Structure 1
Amino acid sequence: MHAETQSTERLVSHTYPPVVHSLTSLRFLAAAWVILFHFKEFFRGTGLETAPIAMSGFLGVDFFFVLSGFVLAHVYLPKLRAGRFDYWDFLVRRVGRVYPLHVLTLAATLALSAVAARAGVTYSIWDLGQWMTLPKGEISRGLFAHVTMIHAWGSTNGLIFNLPSWSISAEWFAYLLLPVFVLAMRPLLGRPLTLLAASVALLIAMDVARRVGTGTDLLRSTWNLGTLRILPSFVLGIALWRFGEGITLGRRLALTGFFAALVALVAAVQFGAPLVVIVLLLAAIVFLCADAERHGGLKALQHPFPVLLGEVSYSVYLWHFPLGVLTFDALLAQRGEVGALGGLGLIAVVLAGITFVSWVSYLLVEVPSRKTLIAAGKRLALAESFR
């Protein structure tokens, strides 16, 4: 009886919590990293724009891709195994999560660019109104691609409108193919270590193939088939969840590994390690963070405030480009020479302002529209079942 109790306790200790709050908190840090990558461009000549940590901030998007695979596997893989996976409900929830804010920020970017053009705003880096100079056919095609979220599928000739939203298109691609990914991985789902090794090999192989075939990095793809960029990272996230489902390092080793991975990440960025290595370290952080939380570790990342920041990080990510460009090129156009530290300070202040707007957007747009779309999806499914 005692041995049975110990076995049950070990099983419980290996189970991930329903929601891994510390991973939610890390989403905000990843969004802030991407924002640093973009906003550093407003401080050229200060040294900030060449700082390795700022230059590599675009890889925060790949953290999101790995995290998406991990979280969706956590929520839906057990349902897929049990034959309880409802693809319609899954897609409705994904659309409810990403689509309303995507459309709102797209419309806001178009409106803000038109207002800025009338006000005679001069842009230093990105011209929000550049789309207005394109041929009408290209504008129409771009709008169609953005509204249908296929603008990272090679459907446009470049980044237009709310430029960072290409990653939402890539996420949408991964959502649509989730059952396909799981089906393709099924032969290895019973061998989690082999599955993890195969997913790492896939990331490396796709990066090498992209370099050989096009001379460009897979991990720099955006509008030009960003769908390929998300594929190995998303699969890696799924493999990490499956690997961690049956294996744990325990509280002490998970915490030690988490902080060691953070140090290794900083070192890899600082010394210019290959991009694939940095992404693998980001993936390790996802796994170790989740592993530590199921043993009660990383309490600081589970407090309500950082979790709230993580919840609004999607809004922060989509609002930061139009609001940031207008802030730096209109409100702060006369900022003068501020240096690298001054630039970091201004970026932090602007990020705080965008975060506040994003919090309001989260409360007034994201949450209500998500609930509305999910309810509508359920009504449609119910009506269909009676036909």
Structure 2
Amino acid sequence: MTTPTTVPPQPATLLRGGALDALRFLASMFVVLFHFGDEAPIPLQSLHSVWERGYLATDFFLMLSGFVLARAYGAGVASGRIAPVRFWLKRFARSYPTHLISLAVLAILVLAATLVGKAPAHPERFDWSGLPAQILLLHAFGIGGGQWNIPAWTLSALLICYAFFPWLWRAMMRLPGAMAALALGLVLLVGGQALSLALLHHSLFDLPFQWAMVRAAPLFLIGLTLARAVEAGCWSPRTARLVALGGAAALLANVAVAGPDMISLLAICALTLGCGALPPILATTRPIPGAAWGARVSFCLFMTHTITGAVWFGAIQPVIERIHPAVATVAWQAWGVWLLALVAAVVAADLYNRLIDAPLQRAIRRRWFSAPDLSARPDPRPAAEPSA
């Protein structure tokens, strides 16, 4: 007679495809709409004031970066399993290659256009003397903002935030509970805006490029407070959904009536909090269709849409108008061509992710990050490092 062997239950496999993944893609897509808005048959800014506030999507992106990072790596950093230097190098390796490739492609395009006698539509943005500052990502130090691949300023600021993340998150872990974390986030949001208005005479949420670090740091910290609130609180699925839906409704209502940016940021906080507090997607549940793909493509879309826009509006659209002149005069055709630019930006980002970014990141991980982190303390619990 044999004794049956008890097999310990295996931990559930976490999957991508949740609400936060969908939010990351939507935030990136709104940035694209904001940057392509001037090229629409009727500039979007003249249709509704919401299109003058595309900076809110970038603020969302900065806040979400802190939140996702804390949820993905907070436990490893707090326990010492991930050493601070190794953590920063991994974040640098994740973001800098795409920045460098995007910058190189833009430089080649501008050089080729100049050689054939076609100057860029905005030559002040492509000053060759400013290229070294772009390569070195000096935006956070007030140098080089507003030139070449403009979204890169966020990388410059976030890389500094990443350097301090392990200590910041450990400090967040000392907060006694969710309410304390939310209170700190509210102080950062309201206090940061008040200080910006008092000292710089400008709203924190759309500060000029020379104040990139001043703008990014509070929003990144607020993302950490929201992550701490999710971790420290007892959030039922029903409560999380109500908070997320309430935040989404408040955001849409506020932008529809051109309400204060502060209300929009508070609504974004609620939306992030609610979506982040929802139960994780498991192997036994169904993810949101397309959300996992959107999360993978969002960073590439954020970084490469400037290139796609330059090629589309500077080369492809003029060729289409030459072949089919009605495109420039018939409203629905003009809008159709403009909408195709949005599709092209997404397709280009997806191709870049599949053909360049994903293979490059796999190679970097094999070459430099395949060995265990010997400087970190071991953790007996099974843990998978999600790609954030």
- Give the TM bin, normalised by the shorter chain: 0.7 to 0.9
Displacement of 1:362 in angstroms is 0.9
Q: Look up the match of 1:320.
A: 305
Question: Retained in 1: the 8 A contact 2:34–2:51?
Answer: yes
Q: Look up the match of 1:147.
A: 135
Q: Look up the match of 2:382.
A: none
* Alignment match of 2:70 (pick from 70, 73, 82): 73
Question: Retained in 1: the 8 A contact 2:37–2:44?
Answer: no
Separation of aligned partners in 2, 1:160 and 1:27 = 24
Q: Look up the match of 1:309.
A: 294
Question: Retained in 2: the 8 A contact 1:65–1:230?
Answer: yes
Q: Look up the match of 2:341.
A: 350
Displacement of 1:127 in angstroms is 3.5
* Alignment match of 1:361 (pick from 336, 349, 352): 352
Separation of aligned partners in 2, 1:367 and 1:243 = 32
Question: Retained in 1: the 8 A contact 2:328–2:334?
Answer: no
Instruction: Work out the number of aligned pairs and report it.
Output: 357
* Alignment match of 1:336 (pick from 309, 315, 328): 328
Q: Look up the match of 1:221.
A: 207
**Given residue 29 of structure 1, which amino acid in structure 2 is its aligned partner?**
L
Question: Retained in 1: the 8 A contact 2:154–2:212?
Answer: yes
Note closer, same or farther for the CA distance 1:215–1:345 as it changes in structure 2 (3 Å cut).
farther
Q: Look up the match of 2:103.
A: 106
**Given residue 339 of structure 2, which amino acid in structure 1 is its aligned partner?**
A
Question: Retained in 1: the 8 A contact 2:172–2:224?
Answer: no
Q: Does 1:159 align with 2:159?
A: no
Task: Spell out structure 1 runs of 4+ moving beyond 4 A.
Answer: 15-20, 44-48, 341-345, 379-385
Separation of aligned partners in 1, 2:92 and 2:86 = 10
Q: Does 1:178 align with 2:165?
A: yes
Separation of aligned partners in 2, 1:300 and 1:18 = 9
Note closer, same or farther for the CA distance 1:16–1:145 as it changes in structure 2 (3 Å cut).
farther
Note closer, same or farther for the CA distance 1:46–1:107 as it changes in structure 2 (3 Å cut).
closer
Separation of aligned partners in 2, 1:369 and 1:62 = 28
How do residues 133-144 of structure 1 correspond to structure 2 at under 5 angstroms? 139=129, 142-144=130-132
Give 3-state SS (helix, strand or coil) of 1:236's partner. helix
Note closer, same or farther for the CA distance 1:111–1:384 as it changes in structure 2 (3 Å cut).
farther
* Alignment match of 1:281 (pick from 257, 263, 267): 267
* Alignment match of 2:180 (pick from 190, 194, 208): 194
Q: Look up the match of 1:243.
A: 229
Note closer, same or farther for the CA distance 1:167–1:46 as it changes in structure 2 (3 Å cut).
closer
Displacement of 1:260 in angstroms is 2.6
**Given residue 121 of structure 1, which amino acid in structure 2 is its aligned partner?**
K
Moved more, 246-255 or 96-105: 246-255
Question: TM-score with structure 2 length normalisation?
Answer: 0.81
Question: TM-score with structure 1 length normalisation?
Answer: 0.82
Q: Look up the match of 1:60.
A: 57
Q: Look up the match of 2:383.
A: none
Question: Retained in 1: the 8 A contact 2:17–2:281?
Answer: no
Moved more, 44-53 or 353-362: 44-53
Separation of aligned partners in 2, 1:256 and 1:85 = 35
The answer to which structure has the higher helix fraction is 1
Moved more, 252-261 or 191-200: 252-261
For structure 1, list consecutive stretches of 5 or more residues without a partner in the other structure: 1-11, 133-138
Question: Retained in 1: the 8 A contact 2:125–2:146?
Answer: no
Give 3-state SS (helix, strand or coil) of 1:163's partner. coil
- Deviation track 1:323-356 (CA, whole Å, cap 9, x = no partner) reads 20331233224442565x7666444321211222
Taking only aligned residues, the RMSD between alpha carbons, in angstroms, comes to 3.1
For structure 2, list consecutive stretches of 5 or more residues without a partner in the other structure: 1-10, 322-326, 377-388
Moved more, 104-113 or 178-187: 178-187
**Given residue 163 of structure 1, which amino acid in structure 2 is its aligned partner?**
I
Separation of aligned partners in 1, 2:221 and 2:348 = 33
Note closer, same or farther for the CA distance 1:128–1:326 as it changes in structure 2 (3 Å cut).
farther
Note closer, same or farther for the CA distance 1:231–1:104 as it changes in structure 2 (3 Å cut).
same
Q: Does 1:117 align with 2:117?
A: no
Give 3-state SS (helix, strand or coil) of 2:141's partner. coil
Give 3-state SS (helix, strand or coil) of 2:140's partner. coil
Note closer, same or farther for the CA distance 1:19–1:360 as it changes in structure 2 (3 Å cut).
closer
Q: Does 1:90 align with 2:87?
A: yes
Q: Look up the match of 1:136.
A: none
Displacement of 1:301 in angstroms is 6.0
Question: Retained in 1: the 8 A contact 2:308–2:344?
Answer: no
Q: Look up the match of 1:4.
A: none
Question: Retained in 2: the 8 A contact 1:102–1:165?
Answer: yes
Note closer, same or farther for the CA distance 1:357–1:117 as it changes in structure 2 (3 Å cut).
same
Question: Retained in 2: the 8 A contact 1:16–1:290?
Answer: no
**Given residue 336 of structure 1, which amino acid in structure 2 is its aligned partner?**
A
Displacement of 1:232 in angstroms is 1.5
Give 3-state SS (helix, strand or coil) of 2:202's partner. coil
